[in-house]
Structure 1
């Protein structure tokens, strides 16, 4: 059995939590392999960026676990179309803030989309922005974890997000 390694985003020392990036659990590894990874890299919160239909198509075991609610982690779902951008900007801001607050409180958050690259990269950059990291540094940190906003629209969305008033640190 090959145990996958979640890709860790190296956060500044003053941020107590951990941020992992991954593909849909059970998509590129068996569910047993994913569970084994959770034993070596425990996770408090999973943020799923896949629409439920995509999640069910990519990992029936993950979907069954979610349906049964037989898991130890909290689950946040903010669906973004594959290769797309958030349709509901306020919902994106809210979900980013929730995930960032978990990290601020010292929890471990795993973010995933289908392959763990584009939507995951876009969300992770947004999360780092919410944690007070500059856009340039956020992009670099996420890139080092093998993710990035893939499409022009995703890059433009992150640029908007970084320039919006929502990213001031007065919301903490």
Structure 2
């Protein structure tokens, strides 16, 4: 995930558009969007909060995903 997030940050920094989605757009997609923000220098907690606000639902989807995001 870290490698992918770094590559996507490079694309964003080059003003390229990216789309991130999974089945529900909450768990995996939310984790990747949070990882992208973290790679851009935002704290883990703030990244999770920003993505949750943008989606209108709490991410990540499961406790396992939350543990992973906090330790990212």
TM-score normalised by structure 1 residue count:
0.39
Structure 1 or 2, whichever has the larger Rg, is 1
Q: Is 1:151 the equivalent of 2:62? A: yes
**2:38 aligned to 129, 134, 139, which one?**
129
Count of residue correspondences:
70
Q: Is 1:111 the equivalent of 2:25? A: no
Flag the structure with more relative contact order, 1 or 2, with Cα contacts below 8 A and sequence separation at least 6: 2
Give, in whole Å, the separation in 1 of the partners of 2:11 and 2:27. Answer: 22
Find the counterpart in structure 2 of residue 85 from structure 1: none
Deviation at 1:136, TM superposition (A): 2.4
Find the counterpart in structure 2 of residue 102 from structure 1: 11
Q: Show CA shifts across 1:17-73 (max 9, x none).
A: xxxxxxxxxxxxxxxxxxxxxxxxxxxxxxxxxxxxxxxxxxxxxxxxxxxxxxxxx
TM-score normalised by structure 2 residue count:
0.86
Give, in whole Å, the separation in 2 of the partners of 1:129 and 1:101. Answer: 13
Secondary structure of the structure 2 residue equivalent to 1:108? coil
Name stretches of at least 5 consecutive residues in structure 2 with no aligned partner: none
Give, in whole Å, the separation in 1 of the partners of 2:10 and 2:47. Answer: 17
**Structure that is richer in strand per residue:** 1
Name stretches of at least 5 consecutive residues in structure 1 with no aligned partner: 1-91, 162-172
